Structure 1
């Protein structure tokens, strides 16, 4: 892989009120910022057009809302076209504790082929329904990988190594909504990808905007786990061999 040359990637859907503060917090790191406008309403589009006047900020505009996964895919492909080695995904709603960014950068630079993800530490603001839903997904992911290596597959605070992730994107029909975060991680693991974790605090602001649709996104996530389960079955021998190799190390 080329020298470590990262950019920040912010998927944004109607987060005009919060995204400028996120950008302000990222500017001191000196890395270019790609914001993907996922079909936002006029108010957010106006705010993003103002942000685009700042140096080192690229706005990718999707004409229609694709979902978080679709926005991240568009951002990763743009980062690839621009020659970046890594895309550091940051949510636009201020949910992530950016004090963990130095750890994310350090881990990504030390292990450039790895997908580095936050492992959330929640405070009392986390909705209990979301917390319990995460546990259900953890169990499914352990089954789909025959491994406990993936400690959390839903946190959107991560560093993607662009070339191997683009390979996964190009060879699979991935979910485009909230199912994307988990699916890309499982399929990257299936491709023998290295996945590592750092602790990061996650808060749910009282006035935060959530685009999680309790019905539709849960249907999508259930269908994703069904696909991954049946995709795991022919991979069982390979996954067992990998588990044995991992244990030896």
Structure 2
């Protein structure tokens, strides 16, 4: 499943790389420009049996697009959903490694942690560590190596159950928010290294002020959520060490 917002220069190569791994592809057009929407239409029309296309009338955010993909995947009868980004930063040839782990551990979430090359902006690399620290605090563990990488495999049922009872972040706060909350629900995390480059089309939709405000609000909410889960989290970690 690929959430797409104006990555018309990268998405064709990403989709073909995904299809080459012998998996079907769900595209979610999150209010794209006409140029990008045209590219998505062409991809869907070329292989409609393997490429599904869902649409938001206006941009709702990456998290909202991913959640739309989850609902569609469940309705189509899938048990798991593999998420990658549309900008070409992920190593698509790693998909078999992720699916292999998901098959061996069907109840777990398989989460990529980035192995960067020289293309990564230094500021972005160091800024990620602030989120890492908050995630370690809010889970009272180091179980999640990187909560921001958008390359991961989810079992669909626990995600839908979480969506039914919890409002999740709809924008760039989604990837961290859902992972911490699924961990709180008892999900196991499998961390896999994967190469990440920044990005092939040079487009980033991270909005410095708004997204940082949303991420700060998310970490604050997760912190207070952790406090009243403190006994349960400590017990889980003690059992894990035992």
In structure 2, the residue matched to 1:193 is 187
TM-score, structure 1 normalization: 0.94
Q: Which aligned pairs between 1:175-190 and structure 2 lie closer than 5 A?
A: 175-190=169-184
Assess if the C-alpha contact under 8 Å between 2:89 and 2:200 holds in 1.
no
**Within 2, Cα distance between the matches of 1:133 and 1:157?**
19
Unaligned runs of 5+ in 1: 1-8
Structure 1 position 228 matched with structure 2 position 219: no
Structure 1 position 171 matched with structure 2 position 149: no
**Within 2, Cα distance between the matches of 1:207 and 1:85?**
32
Query: How far has the Cα of 1:190 moved from its partner?
Result: 0.4
Other structure's SS at 2:170 match: coil
Match of 1:237 among 227, 231, 234: 231
**Within 1, Cα distance between the matches of 2:94 and 2:194?**
6
**Within 1, Cα distance between the matches of 2:35 and 2:151?**
26
Structure 1 position 49 matched with structure 2 position 41: yes
Cα shift readout 1:10-52 (whole Å, capped 9, x = no counterpart): 0000111111111111112322210000000000111111111
In structure 1, the residue matched to 2:69 is 75
Query: How far has the Cα of 1:206 moved from its partner?
Result: 6.2
Q: Which aligned pairs between 1:26-175 and structure 2 lie closer than 5 A?
A: 26-53=18-45, 54=47, 55-175=49-169
Assess if the C-alpha contact under 8 Å between 2:173 and 2:214 holds in 1.
yes
Other structure's SS at 1:200 match: strand
Assess if the C-alpha contact under 8 Å between 2:87 and 2:201 holds in 1.
no
Assess if the C-alpha contact under 8 Å between 2:40 and 2:53 holds in 1.
yes
**Within 1, Cα distance between the matches of 2:164 and 2:7?**
28
Assess if the C-alpha contact under 8 Å between 2:87 and 2:200 holds in 1.
no
**Within 2, Cα distance between the matches of 1:194 and 1:29?**
25
Assess if the C-alpha contact under 8 Å between 2:98 and 2:153 holds in 1.
yes
**Within 2, Cα distance between the matches of 1:30 and 1:148?**
33
Cα shift readout 1:119-153 (whole Å, capped 9, x = no counterpart): 10011111122111210001001110111111110
Q: Which aligned pairs between 1:209-224 and structure 2 lie closer than 5 A?
A: 209-224=203-218
TM-score, structure 2 normalization: 0.97
What's the C-alpha RMSD, in Å, of the aligned pairs?
Answer: 1.0
Cα separation, partners in 2 of 1:206 and 1:50, compared to 1, 3 Å: closer
**Within 2, Cα distance between the matches of 1:29 and 1:208?**
25
**Within 2, Cα distance between the matches of 1:215 and 1:180?**
16
Which stretches of structure 1, 4 residues or more, deviate above 3 A after TM superposition?
none
Structure 1 position 205 matched with structure 2 position 216: no
**Within 2, Cα distance between the matches of 1:165 and 1:40?**
26
